[in-house]
Amino acid sequence: MRVISGIRKGHRLKSPKGKNIRPTEDRIKESLFNILGVIDKESVILDGFGGSGSIGIEFLSRGARFCYFVDISNEGINLINENLTHTKFLDQSKVIKRDFLAAIKYLKGEGIKFNYIYLDPPFRQDGYINKLLENIKKEDILAQNGLIIIEHESELSTEDEIFGFIKVDYRNYGSKAISFYKEIK
């Protein structure tokens, strides 16, 4: 795993040892950022289910202002912190050890709105993505014109419209896929 582009391009990132964390493959990450294009320097990112932190770190390397990383596992939190230290992004980030739903309630209380919310939840949890979208809507943490990006197993069919969000793009990468959502205006 590595940082693909930006000011930390080429920095190697530590990978998890076991199978509890499945980092986004470099080819998927590269495709994702090609789709997103230039990242606004004022962007605030939420990397939910952070794992190794590679997605949030890629956003920071490409110019995002700040990234919040959320993970519930000690392994994930340690890995994110090690990778942030290595890439020197500790001052542009906050790592939160909580369940994602509890974390977004906390972030709502802090008054934070996100330009990009990246989710890579555990696979094969029936209805979980819908629950995540429902709570993101309820807590109102997506900035105007913000984008929710969900990495999921490709056989999972995601809704075209749900809880005031509309799917604006979908990409298939073999066994994994990414769905993109925006708020319906």
How do the residues of the chain divide into helix, strand and coil, expressed in percent and rounded to 5?
30, 30, 40
**What pLDDT is attached to residue 72?**
94
* Distance, CA of 99 to CA of 72 (rounded, Å): 5
Opening angle at CA 14, ends 9 and 20, nearest 5: 130
Q: Any idea which residue has 């190697």 for tokens? A: 12
**What pLDDT is attached to residue 18?**
60
Sorted by where each starts, the structural domains of the chain and their CATH numbers stand as 26-183 (3.40.50.150)
Q: What is the pLDDT along the chain (185 residues), one digit of tens a residue?
A: 899 999 999 999 998 776 555 567 788 999 999 999 999 999 999 999 998 999 999 999 999 999 999 999 999 999 999 999 999 999 999 999 999 999 999 999 999 999 999 999 988 787 899 999 999 999 999 999 999 999 999 999 899 999 999 999 999 999 999 999 999 98
* Distance, CA of 67 to CA of 55 (rounded, Å): 10
**Residue 13: what residue type?**
L
**What pLDDT is attached to residue 20?**
57
Q: Any idea which residue has 């582009």 for tokens? A: 5
* 3-state DSSP of 106-167: HHHHCCCCEEEEEECCCCCCCCHHHHHHHHHHHHCCEEEEEEEEEEEECCCCCCCEECCEEE
**What pLDDT is attached to residue 145?**
96
Residue 97 has a CB neighbour count (10 Å cut-off) of 16
**Between β-strands 93-97 and 161-162, what pairing exists: parallel, antiparallel or unpaired?**
unpaired
